[in-house]
A and B are shown apart, each in its own frame.
Chain A
Amino acid sequence: MQRYGFRAMGTQIELLLAAPATTDAEAVFDAAQAEFARLEGLLSRFLPDSELSRLNRDGAIAAGPDLAAVVRRALDARERTAGRFDPTVHDALLGAGYDRTFAQMPGELGRPVEPACCAGGVRVDAAGRIELEPGVRLDLGGIGKSYAAEAACALIAELGPALVDAGGDIATRGGAWPVGVATADGSLTLLVENGGLATSGSDRRSWLADGQEAHHLIDPASGRPAAGDLVRVTVVARDAVEAEIHAKALFLVGATRAAAEADASGLPCVLVTRDGQTVLAGGISA
């Protein structure tokens, strides 16, 4: 097993390749790292010259294939999750205080959360031109990282079974991978064969806003950080992007409904509640 780590997109990235040490993986690892840098340069709202930042500033852009693909996927996710996953939460994130990288954020915002409308209009035509309704801006934080993980994993998998861990968003190609998942009172290990994982939660990217807990998972219906009885949701899906979408969508609806939805759709997930319960749903077999 060969491993390589670096920082990108504000988090630690780890690349794993199930190949003997004699395999020269340096080139694919370098290519994967370059791919993360390239996609961050396109999709990050914290970089003023990124394609996303230019779109948010100008309201329209002739997007490159990656930005267009991610936005299309985000809009499709918004349809499928009845608005629970919404890329137009940008201003709500700012209102909640998440207006800079998380590393730069203070622990206490010093003001209350200011809710903002979501569910804004976005159009992407066949040529990749993206147009935003006036006042609408996009955030592609979670989906951008998982998209990059999938792209990097595809590069590494040229040499064998591969896994890319992008700060908890995990993409795999081939092989069977034991992945640790934190539970309420410890952890468990899931064996994942082809697919992706993502964990959404309020336990990491959180801060205080005028003494009240705030975090980065916006409920588009309220324009505020989501309330509810879940602390973390880990989802296994056909790829990391899909896992990220469903993890966010399930987090918003609370433990009972999330478990029911996961069971109904056969979506393996691990739910951790605020009162210390761990629920396995969606067909995870122990």
Chain B
Amino acid sequence: MTSNHTIRLYALAASLLALFLTWAAISAHPWRSAAGVKATDARLVALGQREQLLRRDMALVQRIATHAGVAARRSQPVALRTAAAIAPVAAPAPVAAPAVRVVTLPPLVITRTS
């Protein structure tokens, strides 16, 4: 009787193990493909589309900024030449800083690293 009881216990344990393994295998849905999962997830599709739009906008902004910088640099010498032709007098002093020139006078004070 003891051996029969033990055998029945082992059989029960094996059955439970087989049940759980089968349950796990079925839950994993191995017959579904990765592409299939992506195709059915609308959020991922929307994110991908938004990413493409943002990359396109970023490239456009970069091109605009590059062209604007080049245009500014190209136009600057022309603007300066035009201004000189119209008003050949000396350019006005900068608004923020006072006029400064090098002189041969002896200095009253000497600026040094503070």
- Does chain A have a CB within 8 A of B104? yes
**In the complex, how many residue pairs between chain A and chain B have their CB atoms under 8 Å apart?**
127
Tell me how far the C-beta of A171 lies from the nearest C-beta in chain B, rounded to whole angstroms.
Answer: 11
- Does chain B have a CB within 8 A of A124? no
Tell me how far the C-beta of A251 lies from the nearest C-beta in chain B, rounded to whole angstroms.
Answer: 10
B97 touches A286 (CB 8 A): no
Of A21-29, A126-134, A150-158, A233-241, the stretch lying at the interface with chain B is A233-241
Tell me how far the C-beta of B89 lies from the nearest C-beta in chain A, rounded to whole angstroms.
Answer: 15
Closest A-B pairs by Cβ, 3 of them: A266-B94, A180-B107, A195-B98
A194 touches B98 (CB 8 A): yes
B98 touches A284 (CB 8 A): no
Tell me how far the C-beta of B67 lies from the nearest C-beta in chain A, rounded to whole angstroms.
Answer: 21
Chain A contact residues: helix, strand, loop or mixed = strand
- Which residue of chain A is the closest to B109 with respect to CB atoms? A165
- Which residue of chain B is the closest to A280 with respect to CB atoms? B102
Which of B104, B105, B110, B113 has most chain A Cβ within 10 Å? B113
Tell me how far the C-beta of A173 lies from the nearest C-beta in chain B, rounded to whole angstroms.
Answer: 12
- Which residue of chain A is the closest to B95 with respect to CB atoms? A266
Size class of the B contact interface (CB-based, 8 Å):
20 to 34
B-side residues, CB < 8 A to A, are 93-114
| Chain B contacts for A187, CB-based, 8 A | 107, 110
B113 touches A168 (CB 8 A): yes
A142–B114 alpha-carbon span in the complex (Å)? 7
Tell me how far the C-beta of B110 lies from the nearest C-beta in chain A, rounded to whole angstroms.
Answer: 4
Which residues in chain A, 193-223, are within 8 Å of chain B measured between CB atoms? 193-195, 197-205
B102 touches A234 (CB 8 A): no
A232–B112 alpha-carbon span in the complex (Å)? 9
- Which residue of chain A is the closest to B107 with respect to CB atoms? A180
Tell me how far the C-beta of A225 lies from the nearest C-beta in chain B, rounded to whole angstroms.
Answer: 14
- Does chain B have a CB within 8 A of A190? yes
